[in-house]
Structure 1
Amino acid sequence: MDFDDLLQRYFGTSDLSDASAAMQTAALDRLRVDFGLETDRARRFALWSVLYMLGQAPDLDVAFKDEADREAARNLMDLLDAGGGN
C-alpha cells in the first residue's frame, strides 16, 4: 500500500491541507473501521501506520496480537522519530 494512495482513498486527496475538517473526521472514522476489520497483516500494518502518522493510532497492545507486529510498529515509530517525522 502506498501512503499517497491511502490518503487519496480515505481523504480524497494526497494533500491533507486540501481536506476539510469534516472530511478528515469522516476519513479517520473509515480508517479506524477498516483497520478493525482488516485480517491481512500487511494491510493492517499499513492502515495502523497511516493512523500513527496522523496521531490517531491505537496502542500497540490493542492494535496487534502478534509480538512481531508490535516490534515492527516500534521500529517504525523509532525510524519516524529519528527522521523528524510523525
Structure 2
Amino acid sequence: MQFDDQLRRYFGTTDMDLLTPDGIAAGIEHMRVDLGLEQDRGRRFALWSLLFLLGDAPDIDTTFADAADRAAARDFMDMADGDGAPDAAG
C-alpha cells in the first residue's frame, strides 16, 4: 500500500489541506471500517499507521492479535513521535 494511494482512496486527494473537517471525518470512518474488516496483516498495519498519523488510531492491544504486530506498532509510534529515531552518533 502506497501512502498517496491510501490518501486518494479514503480522502479523494493527496492534499489534506484541501479537505473539510467533515471530509476528514468521513475518510477516517471509512478507514476504521476497512481496518475492522481487513484480514491481511500488512494492510491492517498500514491502515492503523495512517490512522495513528491522523490522530485516530484504535488501541494497539485490541487491533493486533499478534505480539509482533503490537511491538511493530509501538515501534512505529516511537519513530513517528521522534523517540525511536537513531541519533547521529549511532
Does structure 1 residue 82 correspond to structure 2 residue 82?
Answer: yes
Name the CA distance, whole Å, in 1 between partners of 2:55 and 2:22. 17
Letter in 1 for 2:56: Q
Which residue pairs with 2:44 in the alignment?
44
Most deviating of 43-52 and 73-82? 73-82
Gaps of 5+ in 2: 84-90
Name the CA distance, whole Å, in 2 between partners of 1:82 and 1:30. 28
Which residue pairs with 1:4 in the alignment?
4
CA shift for structure 1 position 25: 1.2
1:1-86 matches, cutoff 5 A: 1-82=1-82
Name the CA distance, whole Å, in 1 between partners of 2:22 and 2:77. 27
CA shift for structure 1 position 24: 1.0
Name the CA distance, whole Å, in 2 between partners of 1:64 and 1:23. 27
CA shift for structure 1 position 69: 0.2
Query: Where has structure 1 moved over 2 Å in runs of 4 or more?
Result: none
Residue-by-residue CA offset, 1:32-86 (whole Å, 9 max, x unaligned): 0000000000000000000000000011111101000000001111111117xxx
Task: Normalising by structure 2, report the TM-score.
Answer: 0.88
The alignment of Structure 1 onto Structure 2 pairs a total of residues equal to: 83
Query: Percent identity of the aligned residues?
Result: 54
